Structure 1
Amino acid sequence: MTSHQSTQTMKPATAAKKLGVYLQATPAEFQEGVVSRTELSALQTDPPEWLLELRRSGPHPRPVVAARLGVSIAGLARGGVTEALTTEQIEALKAENPAWLRRERATQAEVRKETVRIKEKKAERDDRSDGERS
């Protein structure tokens, strides 16, 4: 009996998410097909020009926009940014530095500080419990 190994595929939306690009900006053949794990790996290791251009200029999906602005995705929504933005639009927002962006960046900085504090507290607690067991 021969076992047939099926090729794992994913929907274009999943592949676009893994590639960090906005699906609607990808070529039609990418949007309409399915992407195998092998094809995804090839796109990641040797990206075609369209993928390089999308990563460089956009439009970018919200997670990328949020990361480039230094805010959370929820912070983007609170700031009224619900659509994909190009690199140029992101840079313009950074230059303008509206009040909502300053506020969301401050919030994000506090969240990061709190995450570090919790991590350090957990490590300290783990060290103490390791010492008690010895």
Structure 2
Amino acid sequence: MTSHQTTQTMKPATAAKKLGVYLEATPAEFQEGVVSRTELNALQADPPEWLRDLRRDGPHPRPVVATKLGVSIAGLARGGITDPLTTEQIEALKKESPEWLQRERATQAEVRKEAVRIKEKKAERAEQTERPRS
């Protein structure tokens, strides 16, 4: 009995998400085909010019925009940002620093601080339960 391995493929939207790029900005041949795991790995290891350009200049998908601005995706929506942005637009927003962006950054900082506090508390509890009682 011989086993044959099938090639794992994904939709272009999934591949674009894994590559951190906005699907609609990718070349037509990327959008219309399927991407194998091997092709995805090759794109990540040695990105073609179009991929390097997209990663550098955008337009960027919302998760990337949120990360670059230091806010959550929900924070983007609360700020009225629902469309992909270019790097230039992101830099302009940072420079402008509207009130909503300052508020969302502060919120995100609090969320991170709380996550660290919870992680430390869990580690402390785990350490206490591992200690032998005398």
1:88 aligns with 2:88: yes
Cα distance between partner residues in 2 of 1:132 and 1:4 = 52
Residue equivalent to 1:47: 47
Residue equivalent to 1:101: 101
Q: Which amino acid aligns with 1:131?
A: R
Cα distance between partner residues in 1 of 2:56 and 2:33 = 24
What are the ranges of 5 or more consecutive residues in structure 1 without an aligned counterpart?
none
1:30 aligns with 2:36: no
Residue aligned with 1:89, SS:
helix
Q: Which amino acid aligns with 1:15?
A: A
Q: Which amino acid aligns with 1:30?
A: F
Q: TM-score, normalised by structure 2?
A: 0.97
Q: How far off its partner does 1:4 sit?
A: 2.2
The CA RMSD measured in Å over matched residues stands at 1.0
Q: 1:1-54 deviations in whole A, cap 9, x for unaligned?
A: 332211000000000000000000000000000000000000000000000000
Identify the range of structure 1 (1-10 vs 37-46) with the bigger mean alpha-carbon deviation. 1-10
Write out aligned runs for 1:1-134 (5 A).
Answer: 1-132=1-132
Q: 1:70-97 deviations in whole A, cap 9, x for unaligned?
A: 0000000000000000000000000000
The 1:131–1:34 alpha-carbon spacing in structure 2 relative to 1, beyond 3 Å, is same
- Percent identity between the two aligned chains: 82
Q: TM-score, normalised by structure 1?
A: 0.97
What are the ranges of 5 or more consecutive residues in structure 2 without an aligned counterpart?
none
Q: Which amino acid aligns with 1:8?
A: Q
Q: How far off its partner does 1:132 sit?
A: 3.6
Residue aligned with 1:60, SS:
coil
Q: How far off its partner does 1:133 sit?
A: 5.9
